[in-house]
């Protein structure tokens, strides 16, 4: 599971992975739903990743406290990445 991979759920909704982070010994992904033409929608979700004998599954994060932490973590990742890209240019 990597950034830019697409996850397809049983209801045929597809989500593009925008970022991945580790927090408290767990892996989380930040995603955006994409439509039939693979165009991003305005639906963003955070998922917890589970690994079980090489089988990968995800569960949407709904806990408000954890969501606040994840928003901060992913925002910091984005800001740091943007700053790194500015220094390279």
Tokens of 46: 């955070």
Predicted pLDDT at 57: 92
Domain spans of the chain, in order of start: 6-88
Q: Identify the H or E element spanning 52.
A: strand 40-52
Tokens of 88: 């390279």
pLDDT, tens digit (0-9, with 9 covering 90-100), for 30-88 = 999 999 999 999 999 999 999 888 888 999 999 999 999 999 999 888 777 766 655 55
Q: Is 11 helix (H, G, I), strand (E, B) or coil?
A: coil
Residue with tokens 């305005």: 42
Predicted pLDDT at 52: 86
- Using alpha carbons, list the distances in angstroms from residue 24 to 34, 41, 47: 29, 30, 14
Residues 6+ apart with CB under 8 A from 35: 41
Q: Which residues pair with 60 in a beta bridge?
A: 47
Predicted pLDDT at 80: 75
């Amino acid at each position: 599971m990597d950034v830019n991979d697409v996850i397809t759920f049983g209801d045929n909704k597809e989500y593009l992975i925008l970022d991945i982070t580790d927090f408290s010994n767990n892996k989380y992904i930040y995603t955006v739903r994409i439509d039939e033409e693979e165009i991003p929608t305005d639906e963003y979700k955070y998922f917890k990743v589970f690994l079980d004998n090489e089988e990968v599954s995800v569960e949407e994060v709904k806990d408000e406290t954890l969501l606040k932490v994840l928003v901060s973590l992913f925002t910091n990742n984005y800001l740091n990445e943007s700053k790194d890209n500015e220094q390279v240019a």
